[in-house]
Amino acid sequence: MRPSGALVGVAPFFVYTTVFLLIPTIVVVVGAFADGSGRPTLDNVAALGGANSSFLPALQHSVVLSLVTALAGAVIGAVLAYAVSTARPDGLLKRFITSLCGVLAQFGGVALAFAFMATFSIQGFLTVWLNSLGLDTGSSIWLYQWDKGLMLVYLYFQIPLMLIVFLPAVEGIKPQWREATETLGGTTWTYWTKVAGPILLPSFIGATLLLFTNAFSAYATAAALISQASPIVPLQIAGTFTSEVILGQENVGKAMALAMVVVVALVMWVYAALDKRASRWLVR
């Protein structure tokens, strides 16, 4: 049988997913259950839950950090997306904001982390200036804590990302829907609760889950801001490759990565279930 022509077209896609998705996943899964010399073992996984292991708290921090910044980022980003959608469609302002958000969503975190340190840290100019005025600014430790400074910095890229991924959904809202609601006797409240809200909800939840995985896997921003401890999982994984204390235990890092894969898989499963419900009426 001749090879189907359709397969030729999707070949690059398969090569891409194999190289960047399949192979790393196999390396992680296999490595998580192997010791230094390649023999199968459960030690790596067991080490994660060990009494003096800092992995479980880090996993908890990662999940909470991702959840909070995903929810806050989604709500704020959605409101901003709506505001942007009401601007003139071809206007300069709108083009500027969407381009800016494109950049911020990718690089905003790291840049802001440095800006934060330059401003608020012990040697930061704001702190130094306030001190010179005789004002005690207190400790600037909050800046480096995962549930304060880090959360704030994460929002800096979560909000622009939400704006970008949610804007198409908001712009798909037809003005006729509001006008039809009004002529049928509905108020603004009716419109938002019975028409626009339900129509936007699947996209909103999908985008929120995307924000969750985005924060969950983010590394660079946290690495730029935090150098002393490893309060979240991506920093811990990096630690297993550089730390001398647990030398020879890189495969523990793979076990941690596997735990992350499991969390993300759970999120994708929730997303797929939701998507199935909405696809009854969604047009693709």
Partner 1 sequence: MTATPSPAASRGTEVRLTDLTRVYAGNVRALDGFTLHIAPGEFVALLGPSGCGKTTALRLLAGLEDADGGTIEVGGRDVTNVPTSKRDMGMVFQAYSLFPHMTARQNVEFGLQLRKQDKATRHGRAADMLDLVGLSKQADRYAHQMSGGQQQRVALARALAIEPQVLLLDEPLSALDAKVRSQLRDEIRRIQLEVGTTTLFVTHDQEEALAVADRVGVMNAGRLEQLASPAQLYKNPATPFVADFVGLTNRLHCRVAGGVAQVLGGAVPLLAGSAGDGLAIVLVRPEGVTIAPVGSGGSGGAGGAAATVVSASFLGASGKIVARLESSEGVGDLVSVQVDNTDVTAYAPGQRVLLAPRGDAALAVSAT
* Residue 184 or 245 with smaller CB distance to partner 1: 184
Residue 276: CB minimum distance to partner 1, A: 15
Q: Which of 182, 241, 270, 275 binds partner 1 (CB under 8 A)?
A: 182
Any contact of residue 3 with partner 1 (CB under 8 A)? no
Answer yes or no whether residue 24 interacts with partner 1 by CB under 8 A. no
Is residue 13 close enough to count as binding partner 1 by CB under 8 A? no
Kindly identify the residues of this chain, within the stretch 188-247, that bind partner 1 according to CB under 8 A. Answer: 190, 194-195, 198-199
Contact 83, 162 (CB under 8 A): no
- State yes or no: residue 171 binds partner 1 (CB under 8 A): no
Answer for which of 180, 247, 268, 270 binds partner 1 (CB under 8 A) is 180
- C-beta closer to partner 1: residue 140 or 181: 181
Q: Dump the DSSP string for the chain.
A: -PPPHHHHHHHHHHHHHIIIIIHHHHHHHHHHTB-TTS-B-SHHHHHHT-TT--HHHHHHHHHHHHHHHHHHHHHHHHHHHHHHHTS-TT-HHHHHHHHHHHHHHHHHHHHHHHHHHHHHSTT-HHHHHHHHTT------GGGG-TTTHHHHHHHHHHHHHHHHHHHHHHHT--HHHHHHHHHTT--HHHIIIIIIHHHHHHHHHHHHHHHHHHHHH--HHHHHH--S---SHHHHHHHHHH-STTTT-HHHHHHHHHHHHHHHHHHHHHHHHHHHHHTTT---
Q: What contacts 147, CB < 8 A, 6 or more positions away?
A: 61, 64, 65
Taking CB under 8 A as the binding criterion, the range among 86-94, 123-131, 184-192, 212-220 that sits at the site for partner 1 is 184-192
Closest of 19, 63, 39 to residue 251, by C-alpha: 39
Residues forming a β-bridge with 40: 34
- Is 168 a binding residue for partner 1 by CB under 8 A? The answer is no
Among 174, 193, 269, 275, binds partner 1 (CB under 8 A): 174
Among the residue ranges 40-48, 101-109, 152-160, 183-191, the one whose residues contact partner 1 (CB under 8 A): 183-191
Closest CB 80 distance from partner 1, rounded Å: 24
Among 19, 83, 128, 179, binds partner 1 (CB under 8 A): 179
Whole-number minimum distance, CB 274 to partner 1, in Å?
Answer: 14
Binder of partner 1 out of 94, 186, 217, 229 (CB under 8 A):
186
With binding defined as CB under 8 A, does residue 89 bind partner 1? no
Using CB under 8 A, which of the segments 134-142, 180-188, 212-220, 229-237 binds partner 1?
180-188
User: Helices 55-85 and 149-171 meet at what angle, rounded to 10?
Assistant: 40
Q: In the complex with partner 1, which residue's Cβ is closer, 207 or 233?
A: 207
- Cβ proximity to partner 1, 191 vs 219, nearer residue: 191
- The binding site for partner 1 (CB under 8 A) comprises 174, 176-177, 179-187, 190, 194-195, 198-199, 280-283
